[in-house]
Amino acid sequence: MDTKKVKFPHGIPGHNLSEVEREIPTGEPPAWPINDDLKVVGKRVKRTDALAKVTGAAKYTSDIQLQGMLFGRMLRSNYPHAKIKSIDTSAAEKYDGVYAVHVFKNAVGMAQAKDGGNSAGFPDVKFAGQPIAGVAAISVDVAEEALKLIKVDYEYLPFVVDLEEAQKPEAPVVFKTDVDQEDRGGGGGGQSGLKTKGNLRGPSTSSFFGGPRGDVEKGFETADFIVEHVYRTQVHTHCSLETHGVVVDWRPDNVTIYASTQNTNSVRHEFAEMFDLPKSKVRVITEFMGGGFGAKHSLGNFGVMAGHLSKKSGRPVSMMLDRKEEHISSGNRPNSVQYLKIGAKKDGTLTAIKQKSHGTAGVGLGAGVGRIAQVMYECPNFSTEQYDVFTHAGPGAAWRAPGNVQGAFGLEQAMDELAEKLNMDPLALRDVIDKSDVRKVERQRGAKQFDWSRRKKPGSDSGTVKKGLGMAQSTWPRFVNLNSTVEIRAYKDGAIEVRSGVQDIGTGTKTILAQVVAEELGMKPEDITIRIGDTLFPTGPGSGGSIVTGSITPPARNAAYKLKLELFDQVAKELETVSSKLSMSGGFIVSQEDNSKKIAVKDALKKMRTEQITTSASRSDDYGGFKMGSFLAHGDLGSVQFAEVSVDTETGFVKVDKIVAAHSCGRPLNITQLEGQINGGVIQGVSYALYEYRVMDNETGHQMNGNLDQYKLPFAMEIPEIETIIVEDYGGRSSTDAYGIGEPANIATAVAVANAVYNAIGVRIYELPITPDKVLKALNKI
């Protein structure tokens, strides 16, 4: 490939901004300057779909109405562990208004046993809520009545739903053989090939950052101080506003799937594979997405069922989960019990980190506690053992920085404790052990905005309601998906259209694509039509790993650049120059030699030889080279969050008063949308810290709070004042140099709150969520 050398901005404005020279493919556009010198990118551009969303015009999957459409519902086991001896669907099939009935032959969306785990041709029931059969009928009510007519003959078996109970030798075993679970487009799964013994799978001792390093025991020998504790986190269920669901329209020539998904591409892939269809015959559409936090990458058993029911009935089938199904079956953030031991020298230098964790993703995999302890700080000796513990409970799924939110809760409380032992400010300790430039700037700017100097000694605030301040940090990798392509069409009437299969999970992908293309073409974002979330268009990345912005905006800019060059070629002669001497701004193509020689872009398009021109581009490898494989770039997405809390020492209730969240994501593209995502991440973090937890009844194996009344999500009064600081951090790594923020926004909040609670009351809470019973226990009041 021909390359050229280009100088890019590098570093943090106001701190260490400089330039870096990169060798990049000739076909890629020149470097953008920093955001101050751009017109559209990095600005507060209004969402392109704001009006459609606030007026209700936007059609989500649950709004899809097709001619002749049926409604699907699934029969779920109300027992956590059983063999199915027989199923009689005859009465349901005869029920008036029923068009199709289907019985699952295989369990989908959970870890798969090597022996298949089937009895009598039916998958074994391994959790209360596991779908068994489905019905498509003229209404949801009719479908639900018909489900009641399906007779299932169960052989009930003993079960276990508690993490600690499941590890006992006498515990009922969930999987009798080794199991694996494929990662579906970034949506979870676990390291393959690990051994299962009883309900214990693992340990996993490595991540894609490598395995253990050094010798931890020798490291502890050289330590002056040791911090050693067990930290616990809860099961956190997915509560997107729009539940999981699809509408499958199976026609003889092709299948169209309207899906509430984070990944149009993986839904197409799974559906094509499941029903043995070529991908060309499967189309997935996600025009508007009602939220997803990691569990919506996969087709899901509901999607498989809707496929069978649509195929059988010859009609479109809408299958949307209800809220209870959402809680019990659609995925969750696994819990954890983490042992963590950290050794340090008097000056703060870390000598060793040892981690051992157990967590349960129910019948799924992925209960590790992430990579944060492995990578955030300089430490020569590190080891981890992470175990999945199987229980008869709904499967875990990816959940906004999988493992890392749990891992941060242990690591960052330990660092807070270490700082106190060392008689150091927590920020000063990080200055010693954290080599990240961007987090250093975030600490400085955050501390100033938050007024960290107000912080008192732990437990020293007077009165019944005690104020406390705390902070925590996070890291998240810069993931890139090279399988990301954008097509741009310019029409004779002046319209510009951007097309990609990438879905907008709701964070504003459409808007940033419009900004990037508008910036390149010297136009306004509202002049660009964005058509995404359709697999008829070139493949885009899944919305997982905070990968979308870094993967899809460079192709968008590259395609726009190609389009621009093509237009230049067409008008250069008329403007009495050559195409390399033309530029595009303010809606005009202008000669750089004589700026009186110009033509409006609209007029140039009218003169095109064809009705439309189409360009398409993907993105090249990281300009600075990948750190690992072809998906992980150098550097990280660092963040530092500060929390201010009030703790009522008589009632035990904690209130988060304020969060200051300092974040970086390379080149920020849209400040308003970034703030929105950071606010969302912080709110979810506060909720994880104080409110949400799945209540499982050990005796019956059912979730008791599978609704939005008893499962406590925060509302307006629970949400603190949130201030965001966005640090520009240029690296010259792609044509936009931009990355996402979705996951980083959520990692540090809960542990920053926990550290603030410690600062308020002088006693540490080692378990989430921090509910009044735990606070009163810590204060010896019960």
Partner 1 sequence: MNKFSWYDAKTVNDALEQVNATVSEVLASKVSDQSAVFKCGGTDLLDMMKEGLVAPKKIVNIKNIAGLDAISYHQKSGLKIGANVTLAQMEANAEIKQNYLALHQAVAHAGTPQIRNMASLGGNLAQRTRCWYFRSLDHECLRKGSGTCFARNGENEFHAIMKNGSCSSVHASSVSTALMAFDASVEIAAADGKKRTVKMTEFFVTPGDDSSRESILEANELITAVIIPPSGSKTKSYYIKQGARESYDWAIADVAVVLEVSGSKCKNANIVLGAAAPVPIRSEAASTALIGKEITEQTAKDSAEASMKGATPLSKNAYKVPLFKAIVKRAILKTT
Q: Which residues bind partner 1 (CB under 8 A)?
A: 78, 128, 141, 648, 650-653, 655, 691, 695-700, 702, 704-705, 709-710, 712, 714-718, 771-773, 776-777, 781-782
Q: Smallest gap, in angstroms, from Cβ of residue 97 to partner 1?
A: 12
The region, left, alpha or beta by phi > 0 then psi within -120 to 50, assigned to residue 210 is left
Check: CB of residue 769 under 8 Å from CB of residue 406. no
Structure tokens at 498: 């951007």
Burial of residue 138 (number of CB atoms within 10 Å: 0-12, 13-18, 19+): middle
Closest CA to 141 of 101, 97, 100: 97
Q: Give the nearer residue to partner 1 in terms of CB position, either 628 or 704.
A: 704
Q: Smallest gap, in angstroms, from Cβ of residue 720 to partner 1?
A: 12
User: In 80-97, which positions are buried (b, 16+ CB within 10 angstroms) versus exposed (e)?
Assistant: bbbbbeebebeebeebeb
**Packing angle of the helix pair 749-761, 404-421 (nearest 10 deg):** 30
Q: Give the nearer residue to partner 1 in terms of CB position, either 623 or 693.
A: 693
Structure tokens at 292: 């997803």
Q: Smallest gap, in angstroms, from Cβ of residue 197 to partner 1?
A: 30
Q: Give the nearer residue to partner 1 in terms of CB position, either 1 or 717.
A: 717
Q: Smallest gap, in angstroms, from Cβ of residue 399 to partner 1?
A: 21
Closest CA to 133 of 119, 120, 118, 148: 148
Q: Smallest gap, in angstroms, from Cβ of residue 517 to partner 1?
A: 41
Q: What are the beta bridge partners of residue 247?
A: 258, 318
- State the amino acid at position 732 in one-letter form: G
Q: Give the nearer residue to partner 1 in terms of CB position, either 37 or 699.
A: 699
d(CA 620, CA 25): 8
Q: Give the nearer residue to partner 1 in terms of CB position, either 164 or 697.
A: 697
> Of how many residues is the chain composed?
782
Q: Give the nearer residue to partner 1 in terms of CB position, either 517 or 696.
A: 696
In angstroms, what CA-CA distances link 404 with 365, 431, 448, 664, 743? 15, 21, 27, 17, 9
Would you list the DSSP string of 325-373? HHHHHS-EE--EEEEEEEEE-TTS-EEEEEEEEEE--TTSS-----SHH
Q: Smallest gap, in angstroms, from Cβ of residue 705 to partner 1?
A: 6
Q: Give the nearer residue to partner 1 in terms of CB position, either 72 or 292.
A: 72
In angstroms, what CA-CA distances link 318 with 247, 314, 623, 701? 4, 13, 44, 29
Q: Smallest gap, in angstroms, from Cβ of residue 62 to partner 1?
A: 17
Q: Smallest gap, in angstroms, from Cβ of residue 713 to partner 1?
A: 8
What letter would DSSP give residue 450? H
Q: Smallest gap, in angstroms, from Cβ of residue 781 to partner 1?
A: 5
Q: Smallest gap, in angstroms, from Cβ of residue 351 to partner 1?
A: 39
Check: CB of residue 383 under 8 Å from CB of residue 354. yes
d(CA 645, CA 472): 14
Q: Give the nearer residue to partner 1 in terms of CB position, either 198 or 652.
A: 652
- Residues contacting 13, CB < 8 A, separation 6+: 34, 36, 728, 730
d(CA 73, CA 150): 12
Q: Smallest gap, in angstroms, from Cβ of residue 157 to partner 1?
A: 17
Cis (ω within 30 of 0) for the bond into 458? no
Q: Give the nearer residue to partner 1 in terms of CB position, either 203 or 706.
A: 706
d(CA 679, CA 720): 10
Q: Smallest gap, in angstroms, from Cβ of residue 140 to partner 1?
A: 9
d(CA 252, CA 361): 39
Pairing between β-strand 721-727 and β-strand 654-664 as defined by DSSP bridges:
parallel
Q: Give the nearer residue to partner 1 in terms of CB position, either 585 or 705.
A: 705
Q: Smallest gap, in angstroms, from Cβ of residue 74 to partner 1?
A: 15
Check: CB of residue 283 under 8 Å from CB of residue 89. no
Closest CA to 255 of 270, 272, 238, 240: 272
